[in-house]
């Protein structure tokens, strides 16, 4: 069964198909949430919330919206950002600055062994800081091209060419 057929079955509320999609993407979703909220247990809970929403909103996905993973990514980011804005999170993490995912992971290195920091670091090896920042904004934080341009105070066209360069580097690293 290819991905399209699997998604179709899932949209017909096939729980087996849902499980397969969960197995395929749960770790990615959890990783995205973790990078945003930086709380291991809470991110695992929120990961479940995301898949609850995914199941409930399954009919709202269609291919014209983009890749299925992009759709999941969007739900995950929104869920994580809602969490950041929630009172409980603000109270819990008062003193934690909002930084990019690498900063957080570097702090955690050696402490949170569940996080595959070695894998992540090898993938980000040789990447310029502005690349890491841009990947963080676009893939993890869900910024649009325009928003990222504003945030980084660069022309909108530069965002495109830069993300191409950055992702090419990541792809090379991931093949090593």
Q: Kindly list the residues in this chain that would bind another protein in the complex (CB under 8 A).
A: 15-16, 19, 22-23, 26-32, 34-35, 40, 43-44, 47-48, 51-52, 55, 63-67, 69-71, 73-74, 101, 105, 112, 114-117, 119-120, 123-124, 135, 138-140, 142-145, 148, 159-165, 167, 170-171, 174
Closest distance of CB 90 from another protein, Å: 21
* Closest by CA position to 103, among listed 76, 140, 50: 140
> With respect to another protein, which residue has the nearer C-beta, 90 or 156?
156
The alpha carbons of the chain give a radius of gyration, in whole angstroms, of: 17
- Asked whether the beta carbons of 156 and 146 are under 8 A apart, the reply is yes
* Closest by CA position to 90, among listed 147, 33, 39: 39
> With respect to another protein, which residue has the nearer C-beta, 73 or 133?
73
> With respect to another protein, which residue has the nearer C-beta, 71 or 87?
71
**CA-angle at 139, arms to 144 and 34, nearest 5°:** 130
| Pairs from 46-53 (Cβ < 8 Å, separation ≥ 24) | 46/79, 46/80, 46/83, 47/76, 49/79, 50/75, 50/76, 50/79, 51/22, 51/26, 53/79
Closest distance of CB 101 from another protein, Å: 6
Closest distance of CB 32 from another protein, Å: 5
Closest distance of CB 55 from another protein, Å: 6
> With respect to another protein, which residue has the nearer C-beta, 93 or 112?
112
Closest distance of CB 91 from another protein, Å: 21
Closest distance of CB 41 from another protein, Å: 8
> With respect to another protein, which residue has the nearer C-beta, 139 or 153?
139
> With respect to another protein, which residue has the nearer C-beta, 90 or 164?
164
């Amino acid at each position: 069964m290819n991905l399209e057929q699997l998604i179709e079955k899932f949209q017909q509320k096939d729980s087996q198909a849902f499980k397969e999609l969960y197995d395929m993407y749960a770790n990615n979703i959890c990783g995205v949430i973790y990078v945003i909220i930086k709380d291991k247990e809470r991110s695992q809970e929120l990961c479940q919330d995301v898949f609850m929403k995914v199941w409930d909103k399954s009919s709202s996905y269609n291919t014209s919206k983009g890749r299925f993973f992009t759709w999941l990514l969007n739900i995950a980011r929104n869920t994580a950002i809602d969490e950041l804005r929630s009172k409980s999170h603000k109270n819990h993490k008062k003193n934690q600055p909002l930084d990019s995912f690498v900063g957080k992971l570097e702090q955690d290195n050696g402490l949170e062994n569940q996080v595959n920091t070695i894998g992540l670091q090898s993938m980000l090896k040789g990447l310029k800081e502005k690349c890491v920042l841009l990947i963080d904004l676009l893939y993890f934080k869900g910024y649009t091209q325009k928003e990222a341009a504003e945030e980084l105070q660069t022309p909108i066209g530069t965002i495109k060419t830069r993300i191409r360069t950055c992702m090419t580097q990541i792809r090379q690293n991931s093949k090593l």
